[in-house]
Structure 1
Amino acid sequence: MSDSKFTIPVVQELLDSELSERSPVPSLKEKILAIRDSLRPGQQQMADWQSGPLAISAVPGAGKSTGMAAAAAIAIARQYERSSSRRQLVVVTFTRSAAANIKAKIRKFLRDDLSLPQMGFFVYTLHGLALNIASRHSDLSGLQLENVTLITPTQSHRFIRTAVEQWIGNNQDRYLRLLEGHQFDGEETERLRRQSVLRTEVLPELANTVIHEAKSSGISPELLRKWSQQTTDEYAILSIAAGLYEQYQNLMRSRDFIDYDDMILAALRVLENDSARRIEQNQVFAVFEDEAQDSSPLQTQLLEILASDADNSSLLTDAMNRVSTGDSCTDAIHRVSPNSPLNLVRVGDPNQAINSTFTPADPIYFRQFCEECDRIERLATMDQAGRSTRIIIEAANFALTWINNQWLAKTNNGQQIPDNRQVPFRLQTIRPVNAGDPQTNANPAPVGRGLELYTPRDIHQTVELLSQRVIELFGEDPTKNSAAILVRENRQGRWLGEALAPVCKEHNITLYDVGERDRRSHVPQEILALLQFCDRPHSPDYLKAALEALVQRQLIPTQDLNALASLPEEFLYPSPLAAPQSETVQKAARLCRNLLRARLELPLYQLISFLALTLNYDQAELATADKLAERVNQQIAGNSSMSGMLSALSEIVSSERFEPVETEDSEERYTRRGQLTIITMHKAKGLDWDYVFLPFLHENLIPGRFWVPPQSQFLGDFTLSEVARAQIRATLHEESTIPDVSQAWEVAKNLKTSEEYRLLYVAMTRAKLLLWMSAAQKAPFTWSKPDNLQEQAPCPVFPALKRQFPECVMNLAAMIK
């Protein structure tokens, strides 16, 4: 809705009349008004909030965090003025760095603009808030922090594998049905290969996906099993998923482990208790949520309960019933009304929802919240952005509209019906700021044309053109501006880093490859994989894990690892009668035999350092490995054995994030001036640079192929994990029936395609002065083999941009020197 339709609780005329008799010292109302007047229209709508629900849909670069900080400070000031109670404002955001940033901004407004104490609020990450509630009421949450170990979802792999093995042991009939697949002639080598794929890939992936999807929505294994009775697929995918989920839960409980979803569930158990819930609610006068597009159902539930009026039971009854039964949370938004007791402000951008295909985040809930708030005139739109020059804004808006139109034309057989739930983007475009905007150099003048579109002949010419432009941009004063190359996957970044290093060195340009640096956090996991193989070289699982680490480090070529791992003895020490090994297999086997030889010849305390050198770690990674070796050797002092070392290392990998040897703030490190940063599009969200380069915009990556890995195609033309995810979400979205396998696979494809297009939109809107985009005519089919160039179609948006902005299409013949 437009700003003119928005009904503000404090009418401007009333404020003006109250300030008619001015005193020499500004009153608190005058100070509040001064902050409000310094904000943009969309930010002002947030600052005018006093009670009830409010949705803020913000475009990239709109000043979302500044607006939220100002609104939070004003809300605290009004609470301070109207009440002597000690109720607090709770601000919830997505990451610890974002929490620290917004906390500093709120404090600055309170101190410098309002002359108030820097208190009256708390800033949490969602899980930090849940842990705070659960730990204060440990008798109700069942969470005894001194007795439990927290594991992150990405590190629960070992427990999921154990759950898989336990499920297989208890469900041989269903496992054999999976093994049979669509066709099986009983050949022993193929049976072993399929076993390896099911145990190490298909079932762990299914378990990992479903556990996080279900737990984040408050769905128990029992409810998931009940849902599975409504499906008729030949494998009973949801039933298998429910069994894996149940085994995982039992395993976690038996070993006193919890994950992040358990934190939220523990907090919700506390809030089921009337007395504890009133204690928590009476400490809070409102909840502000940032990055609301990335919320899961359980997170939404927790914030709704906390933001509710303790004296009003109508909202709480529904919410608590959902907590106890695990029912769908999507009906929450239907209770929103102008007089709702829900004091909840949710800020986000559905068009920047880029986590839903690999996390339980689902943007549909924030979209629905926005629609319902719009219906009752409680939707504020922050659609003015000062970050980018106008041509970049025009390009981003065009891409959004073009993608939606193409989507609707395809899905509705040409009938253009605007439905925000069908299309990848919410129908919201970016507008430049008004004249006199408080942001310094808002919507700056472009560098060059502001938008440059290239079609090189191949990826090597891409590097030439990119290098040439970087040299020009950094030429006069390298420390003046910032620049980044955004890639879809780390392998592209690694290849680019190697190609650009000589040029950057020659011209004294600092090159920072975020993917290479961030790999240090994987040091413990890679070392563990190699040590487990050295300890048990005849284990197919351990051999495959070690080979995966070697492929990831590009020490051996990509190949079919399942075939190698299915018969470890034949791979490592082939008999004279065995078929000759290919050169790539021989190289892998030789490297593995060298590892086994080192295990026999080196003392234990030197093994980790040796493996770090073998993995070709850089200086910082070697320092991280040395730190790891010191930690492990301390833990096994007095019990120096391979089993002791593996036990200590497994505990580090599975139950904690081992911090690499680097302490500098990441956002500051990524956006440093005078530096060319190579970073993935996902990691670039929330950041911006003067110059942004988007090479390799090809259809096989954006929107990408939704394909079935060749090794698991014996199960059919779909993946179990994505089918299960789509079926669970359909049920949560209260669709009339659970889709069958083919329908669910199509839904999963659409979710993936939508998210990839939103990722491109995020990448485009990172640029301030220049957006450089290219799609080479020839590029690798897979970036694990960058020299294997083939004709590649561009991302469908790219030719449309060239048609829309012909003046930005670069003439390569005139540019190559």
Structure 2
Amino acid sequence: MVDDKIDRDLKNKILSLVANLREGQKQLALWKGGKMAVSAVPGAGKSHGLATAAAITIAKNKLHSNRQLIIVTYTRSATASIEKKVKEILTQELKLLPVGFSVQTIHSLAVNIANRYPQLSQLEMENRTLTDINSSHPLIFDTVNQWVKNHPELYELLLKGEKSLSDDESELLQRESILLNDILPKVAYNAISIIKSSDLTLNDSFYLPNNLSNPYPLMTIAKGLYEEYQELMIKQQRIDYDDLILSALRVLKHDRAREILQEEVFAVFEDEAQDSSPLQEKLLEILATDTQNNQTNFVRVGDSNQAINSTFTSADPKYFRDFCHQCQENNSFYTMNQAGRSCQIIIDTANKTLTWVNNKIKAELVNKKVDDISSLIPFENQEIKPVIIAENSTNINPQSEGKGLEIEYPKDIYQTVDLIKAKIIKLWDKKNKEKLENFAILVRENKQGKFLYDYLKDLEKTHNLKVKLISDTDSYAKIPQEILSLLQFLDSPHSSQYLRKTLEIVTERLNLNLEDITSLSIYPEKFLYPTLIDCPQNEQVIKIKNECIKLLQARLELAPYQLIIFLSLALKYDQLELATVQKLNERIKQEIKTNISLKSIIDTLKAIVNGEKFKGVEIEDEKSYQKEGQLTIITMHKAKGLEWDYVFLPFLHENIIPGNGEGYMPKNASFIGKFNLADVTRSILRSIVHHDKLDQKEMSIDEASLENNYQKKAEEYRLLYVAMTRAKKLLWMSSAKKAPWRWGFFEDNGNKSQLQDQAPCPVIIALS
């Protein structure tokens, strides 16, 4: 009798929770089993819906520590947020103990499985170094050098290219430098990330088809680079993040281990499913399978229209789209399309953008007679709708500020700043006497953010509005590598490779403009100490050369242990970065203790960089980006998941969004061909993995270039869509008539001759 009353009370509490949810959220909360896909538009309350559904599932099924709901997401901050929400609902709303669930990142889940069965996983975490690989990691350069050594005939083929080599030694050195430092590291990284994050790696041996009509055997090159990388990883006792997933899958191949793990998992809920890879999906699906009835209890929530990482990571929205279509056929697909974040005009603007872009791209692809159009269309046809006002509704759509959407065409980037500043001051003075609100300027590139910050930071003094600049990458992430590269240059200034790295770092950190780094780094002596018979250097090259000579002079004048601090000051590190350098310096002193020499510092730094064990001074969490009474300048990528009252989107130009779809090509790389070798390799591999074309011929370079261009354009349009949907009350967009052609080479010295006529982003024209 008492138990019946408890069940009735719990049932009523669950019904009350469900009643306060929106459509879409309700369907998620009412899930009873099997596969389900939920596509959630920006601002739909996805996290709240997922946490509520999780708590209800735990309560209904009386889950406990030996029978759990596993919730998986892709960032640590997201896991902490979801765990907190589930616990609050269980304890405060349902009056239950916060047990029966686990919130983990996909990689922490994989590690837990692998460590539980070390003999099956073969992971050996205590003897291996977990390494976060990118295209500039030293291991990638080692991979390339090893591949060149073991495949000289393929390297010679690339070196020869489509344009015959002359007898000029400098041309040969230039081609070698471009191949070894630019092209092949990017090809290697793309090949490794695609091959390793797909089902291809589950086979002990695999082959990749080559198209004999292509000038290079790209898939042979890709596989060769992957195999060299794997050998180096084993030799150096390293593992990467894909190895974590693969080790967990090795455990799940074992019948008894798999059954034990499946018995402990009631279901799997996955958040941000659009960022998943084939291996990750495979792992979660196996875990979610019920051993008794062979039913897969797998709920995936995401939005492929907000997939903004697929052109530089192994994530791919295709897999979540495919899962949604599969669930649609089984009547288990739902949408969260009511969003309470934005005012109506901003919702209408986002919807119009989505439809217009899809129609534009579709028309272009039909014109080009592309067969598989659907895979290159940027967006799923999903309309954002305002929240239907019901009793006890909260977080409903706000009223717009003025028109809610403002589009400007300033004469140049300097007038853009003036217009933004005037608008912010007007809003701040008008609105915030009663209630503090927040502002954000979202930019496509870090250098745009720095340019804006320099002109707007005085708002803090003049109007008591805090101005915060957020870099796209964590401040400490590349500091050890930068310091190492500069010290290697100081130790071996005659090295072309070390000079090249130093030029890249100095030009980026000091905002200097230098386009042709490759040519200057081929002959270090000529660059640093030119003679009368050498070609005269222009003013910009002389300026950068002098910076490099200052560094070399410090090598002669300072003790080795003083060099790191000197370098950080020379590069004008900010306060947080300087704190990180201080921490790094202390770590090096602890490691060396006695006999501090430049060589010992370099060796210690190498171990730190390669070991991935150094953690810098922690940055603030995402809440600090949305503080009231603050203007946050942040990149569009980093803004995902955040929101502000007033959002400004300046510098919307066609050459940036959507761009021409082609990746950056190093100067003088045309000998390879009129295409980006790394991007083409990536597209061909994706096509093989997507369509299981191992038994078919490789697509041509022309087809791969076209596909790559449209994939990149699609992602740029999705990035703009994400940026637009961060705004609550006002969305301000602009396209200056004159702007830098490439922001990476722009130096703000007041010289407007650097600015060129720029066409606006096509979306701005359509919205106007």
Report the TM-score range of the alignment, normalised by the length of the smaller protein. over 0.9
- Equivalent residue in structure 1 for 2:759, among 790, 793, 810: 793
Are the counterparts in 2 of residues 293 and 362 from structure 1 also a CA contact under 8 Å?
yes
| 8 Å CA contact retained: 2:475, 2:576 | no
| Aligned CA distance change for structure 1 residues 507 and 85 (closer, same or farther; 3 Å) | closer
Deviation at 1:413, TM superposition (A): 3.9
- List aligned pairs for 1:478-497, cutoff 5 A: 480-497=436-453
Aligned letter for 1:764? M
Paired amino acid for 2:503: L
- 1:672 paired with 2:627, answer yes
Give deviations 1:62-86, integer Å, cap 9, x for gaps: 0000000000001111110xx7893
Give CA-to-partner distance per residue, 1:401-433, whole Å, 9 cap, x none: 111111122222499999753411000000001
Contact residue 486 and residue 684 of structure 1 kept, 8 A: yes
Indicate which of 31, 43, 56 corresponds to 2:38: 56
1:537 to partner: Cα distance: 0.9
Answering whether residue 603 of structure 2 is matched by residue 647 of structure 1, we say yes
Mind listing any 5+ residue stretches in structure 2 that lack a counterpart? none
Task: Find the counterpart in structure 1 of residue 671 from structure 2.
Answer: 714
The superposition leaves residues 382-409 of structure 1 with CA deviations (integer Å, 9 ceiling, x where unpaired) of 1000000000000000000111111122
Q: Is the 8 A contact 1:181 1:716 kept in 2?
A: yes
1:583 aligns with 2:583: no
- Tell me what 2:132 maps to: 152
- 1:587 shift after superposition: 2.0
Instruction: Kindly report which structure 2 residues correspond to 1:303-342, keeping only aligned pairs within 5 A, or say none.
Output: 303-311=284-292, 341-342=295-296
CA distance in 2 between counterparts of 1:283 and 1:757 reads 42
- Measured in 2, the distance between the counterparts of 1:280 and 1:520 equals 38
Measured after TM superposition, the shift of residue 49 of structure 1 is 0.5
* Residue 746 (str. 1) matches residue 706 (str. 2): yes
Task: Give SS of 1:245's match.
Answer: helix
Change (3 A) 1:517 1:361: closer
Aligned to 2:365: 411
SS at match of 2:126: helix
Question: What is the CA–CA distance in structure 1 between the aligned matches of 2:371 and 2:204, rounded to whole Å?
Answer: 35
**1:627 CA displacement:** 1.3
- Secondary structure at the aligned position of 2:756 is classed as strand
Match of 1:249 in 2: 230
Query: Is the contact made by 2:214 and 2:700 (CA closer than 8 Å) also made in structure 1?
Result: yes
| Alignment partner of 2:377 out of 401, 423, 444 | 423
CA contact (8 A) 1:225 1:238 kept: no
1:221/1:246 contact within 8 Å kept: no
Q: Is 1:289 matched up with 2:270? A: yes
Partner Cα separation in structure 1 for residue 690 and residue 555 of structure 2: 53
- Indicate the SS of the match to 2:468: strand
Match for residue 298 of structure 1 among 244, 256, 279: 279
2:498 aligns with one of 525, 538, 542:
542
Corresponding residue of 2:79: 99
Q: Which is worse superposed, 704-713 or 88-97?
A: 704-713
Partner of 2:649: 694
Q: Which residue of 2 aligns with 1:114?
A: 94
Cα deviation, 1:300-350, whole Å, max 9, x if unaligned, reads: 10011111122466xxxxxxxxxxxxxxxxxxxxxxxxxxx1100000001
Determine the C-alpha separation between the residues in 1 that align with 2:454 and 2:415.
Answer: 15
Q: Deviations over 1:712-757 (max 9, x none)?
A: 2211111111111111111112156531111001000010000000
1:398 aligns with 2:398: no
Match of 2:106 among 119, 122, 126: 126
Q: How many residues end up aligned between the 2 structures?
A: 753
Distance 2:303 2:328 in 1: 15
Q: 1:593 aligns with which of 523, 542, 549?
A: 549
2:418 aligned partner: 464
The aligned counterpart of 2:313 is 359
1:226 equivalent in alignment to 2:219:
no
From 339, 342, 362, the equivalent of 1:388 is 342
Given that 2:344 and 2:386 are in contact with CA atoms closer than 8 Å, whether structure 1 keeps it comes out as yes
Letter in 2 for 1:280: L
Cα distance, 1:300–1:311 mapped onto 2, change above 3 Å: same
Alpha-carbon distance in structure 2 between the residues aligned to 1:792 and 1:607? 43
Task: With the length of structure 1 as denominator, give the TM-score of the two structures.
Answer: 0.89
Q: Is the 8 A contact 1:155 1:655 kept in 2?
A: no
- Partner deviation per Cα, 1:741-796 (whole Å, 9 max, x = no partner): 11001000010000000000000000011111111111111112154111111111
- Read off the aligned partner of 2:684 and give its amino acid letter: Q
- Residues 129-150 of structure 1: CA deviation (Å, up to 9, x unaligned): 1111111111111111111111
- Partner AA of 2:301 in structure 1: V
Partner of 1:703: 658
- 692-701 or 517-526, which moves further after superposition? 517-526
SS at match of 1:484: strand
Q: Specify which of 775, 781, 790 is matched with residue 735 of structure 2.
A: 775
Equivalent residues of 1:222, 1:242 under 8 A apart = no
Matches of 1:744 and 1:224 in 2, distance apart? Answer: 25
Q: Percent identity?
A: 49
Measure the CA separation in 2 of the matches of 1:228 and 1:564.
Answer: 39
What is the CA distance between 1:539 and its match in structure 2?
Answer: 1.1
Q: 1:370 Cα shift?
A: 0.7
Shift of 1:636: 1.1
Kept in 2: contact 1:196–1:566 (CA 8 A): yes
Residue in 2 that maps onto 1:47:
29
CA contact (8 A) 2:191 2:222 kept: yes
Deviation at 1:604, TM superposition (A): 1.4
CA distance in 2, matches of 1:116, 1:684: 35
Question: 1:169 Cα deviation (Å)?
Answer: 0.9
Aligned 8 A contact 1:52 1:343 in 2:
yes
The alignment partner of 1:550 has SS state of helix
How far off is 1:691 after superposition?
0.6
Three-state SS of the structure 2 residue aligned to 1:650 is helix
Structure 1: distance between partners of 2:7 and 2:335: 34
2:718 paired with 1:758: yes
Unaligned runs of 5+ in 1: 1-20, 314-340, 803-817
Cα distance 1:141–1:222, how it changes in 2: closer, same or farther (>3 A)?
Answer: closer
1:32 corresponds to: 14
What amino acid does structure 1 have at the position aligned with 2:187?
Answer: L
Letter in 2 for 1:108: E
Q: 1:446 Cα deviation (Å)?
A: 0.7
Letter in 2 for 1:354: I
